């Protein structure tokens, strides 16, 4: 009899413990298996706190988010302008998985490669979005590019393979971003696949929704972002595994036309006799020729010959805010006595790394010069005709992303030739 009572007591305690674990909502969730740990997976949500997360453009979580029952929940108080929760960490190439659960009629999303900069008020003008939405219950008409599982406003999912569970039940999604090769999954099925930064990708980017968002999708690394778009949505089991970066070596100028570049301003940029030419136009204003891609860590070499005035420059980790207002850093190309090879910040600090006076003689006026620029993390080193001109490390540069751009200065009377523009990513 005593033995029997002990067995009953054990079973009762076991049932209570099992019931408690089931009610907690965190049984087997928000943890890494030993195999996942060995494979390099990182847990982005611990199931109990919002450690590792903060508001977009903020330092803490003050927005409409909470942790409850082992989930991150947006409370539905966000809007198009507010309600974005981002990771502290930046991710570049990765495999990302997460679970999500919608409420009736809800609209949300997961955005990645978010470039956080004061000039970008919301994350989605820089980062692509895996759309999460209740297609059937949403109050309003939806285009196919707005439906659940789409690469929002860019690529459609295969709707025949999309096996969404009913609203109120958990779904699982995965994004693979591997050096521009992108795959989206839902509940184990591949929904779509594309290559970022191809001709097809740029055609889509430069039309429709993103026509007025010139920096959309160009960042090759960034924050991961959850969106509160005004409806309650829950997230859990958010895990990421980083993938290695591939080195690329290529020419940025094909010798024939301006493929791969974008013109800003009214000054003249054209290809002639295998050379890239920049020349003052009738407006005599600033002008830029910028790559249509971002380049973060790289080793760049190019040759230039200054005709006439020759006041120009090479910008890096930069973007054009509006018109011809540029945001970033310039390696100076200018007439002798004006610091060619030095580094100038286009806003705020001005010269952050001027050259030594005796190095002015390195420039060969009216002849071809070779410039080399190496940018890695926050360290920038420049060479002119194989002579090191400046080297510095800078925290603002370390956090920045952007294009490479050639400049023509204002004032008129300027003409510069360029050739052999070659880059190796690091």
In a domain, 128, yes or no: yes
Strands of 122-222 (E only): list them: 129-133, 171-178, 181-186, 189-195
Lowest mean pLDDT among 317-326, 355-364, 389-398: 317-326
Closest listed residue to residue 344, CA positions, set 313, 375, 384: 313
Range of the domain at 47: 34-242
Closest listed residue to residue 130, CA positions, set 185, 66, 194: 185
Per-residue DSSP letter, 274: T
Do 223 and 346 have their domain in common? no
Do 297 and 235 have their domain in common? no
Q: Quote the mean pLDDT of the chain.
A: 93
Sorting pLDDT into bands at 50, 70 and 90, what band is 27? low
Q: Is the pLDDT of residue 23 over 80?
A: no
Do 219 and 367 have their domain in common? no
Residue 411: give its domain's CATH number.
2.60.120.560
Backbone angles phi, psi at 234, to 5 degrees: -120, 150
Give the integer Cα–Cα distance in Å for 129 and 100: 15
With the C-alpha atoms ordered 328, 205, 79, 323, is the resulting torsion angle positive or negative?
A: positive
Q: Is the pLDDT of residue 26 over 80?
A: no
Last residue of a domain, one of 207, 242, 277: 242
Q: Is the pLDDT of residue 19 over 90?
A: no
Is the CB of residue 240 less than 8 Å from the CB of residue 94? yes
Do 238 and 255 have their domain in common? no
Reported as a single tens digit per residue, the pLDDT across 144-191 is 999 999 999 999 999 999 999 999 999 999 999 999 999 999 999 999
Last residue of a domain, one of 210, 225, 242: 242
Is the CB of residue 30 less than 8 Å from the CB of residue 45? yes
Helix, strand, coil percent content, the chain, rounded in steps of 5: 15, 45, 45
Q: Is the pLDDT of residue 25 over 60?
A: no
End-to-end CA distance of the chain: 75
Do 137 and 282 have their domain in common? no
Q: Is the pLDDT of residue 426 over 90?
A: yes
Single pTM value for the model = 0.91
Last residue of a domain, one of 242, 261, 290: 242
In a domain, 45, yes or no: yes
In the prediction, which pLDDT does 348 show? 86
Sorting pLDDT into bands at 50, 70 and 90, what band is 308? confident
Mean pLDDT, range 184-205, rounded to an integer:
98
DSSP annotation string for 338-391: S-TT-EEETTTTEEEEPPPGGGGGGS-TTSEEEEEEEEETTEEEEEETTEEEEE
In the prediction, which pLDDT does 9 show? 38
In a domain, 24, yes or no: no
In the prediction, which pLDDT does 325 show? 93
Do 262 and 218 have their domain in common? no
Q: Is the pLDDT of residue 384 over 70?
A: yes
Do 98 and 234 have their domain in common? yes
Q: Is the pLDDT of residue 138 over 60?
A: yes
State the total domains in the chain.
Answer: 2
Half-sphere exposure in the Cβ direction for 192 (13 Å, CA): 20
Q: Is the pLDDT of residue 35 over 80?
A: yes
Q: Is the pLDDT of residue 323 over 90?
A: no
């Amino acid at each position: 009899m005593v033995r029997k009572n002990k067995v009953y007591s054990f079973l009762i305690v076991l049932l209570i413990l099992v019931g408690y674990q089931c009610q907690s909502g965190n049984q087997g969730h928000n943890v890494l298996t030993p195999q996942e740990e060995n494979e390099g997976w990182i847990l982005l949500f611990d199931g109990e706190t919002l450690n590792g997360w903060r508001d977009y453009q903020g330092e803490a979580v003050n927005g409409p988010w909470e942790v409850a029952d082992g989930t991150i929940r947006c409370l539905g108080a966000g809007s198009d302008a507010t309600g974005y929760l981002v990771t502290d960490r930046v991710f570049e190439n990765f495999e990302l998985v997460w679970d999500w659960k919608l409420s009736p009629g809800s609209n949300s999303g997961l955005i990645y490669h978010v470039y956080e900069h004061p000039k970008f008020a919301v994350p989605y003008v820089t980062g692509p979005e895996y759309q999460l939405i209740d297609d059937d219950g949403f109050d309003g008409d939806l285009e196919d590019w707005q439906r659940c599982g789409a690469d929002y406003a860019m690529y459609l999912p295969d709707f025949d393979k999309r096996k969404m569970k009913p609203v109120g039940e958990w779904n699982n999604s995965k994004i693979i971003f591997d050096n521009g090769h992108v795959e989206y999954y839902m509940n184990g099925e591949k929904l779509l696949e594309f290559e970022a930064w191809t001709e097809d990708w740029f055609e889509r980017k430069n039309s429709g929704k993103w026509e007025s968002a010139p920096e959309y999708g160009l960042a090759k690394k960034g924050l991961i972002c959850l969106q509160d778009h005004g409806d309650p949505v829950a997230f859990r089991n958010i895990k990421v595994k980083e993938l290695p970066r591939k080195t690329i070596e290529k020419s940025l100028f094909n010798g024939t036309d301006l493929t791969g570049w974008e013109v800003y301003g009214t000054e003249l940029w054209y290809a002639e006799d295998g050379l890239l030419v920049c020349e003052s136009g009738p407006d005599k204003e600033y002008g830029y020729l910028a790559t249509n891609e971002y380049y973060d860590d790289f080793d760049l070499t190019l040759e230039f010959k200054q005709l006439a005035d020759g006041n120009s420059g090479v910008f890096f980790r930069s973007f054009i805010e509006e018109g011809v207002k540029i945001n970033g850093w310039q390696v100076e190309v200018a007439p002798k006595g004006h610091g060619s090879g030095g580094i100038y910040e286009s806003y705020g600090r001005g010269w952050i790394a001027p050259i030594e006076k005796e190095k002015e003689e390195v420039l060969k006026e009216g002849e071809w010069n070779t410039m080399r620029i190496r940018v890695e993390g926050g360290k920038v080193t420049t060479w002119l005709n194989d002579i090191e001109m400046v080297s510095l490390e800078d925290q603002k540069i370390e956090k920045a992303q952007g294009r490479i751009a050639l400049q023509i200065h204002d004032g008129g009377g300027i003409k510069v030739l360029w050739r052999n523009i070659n880059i190796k990513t690091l």
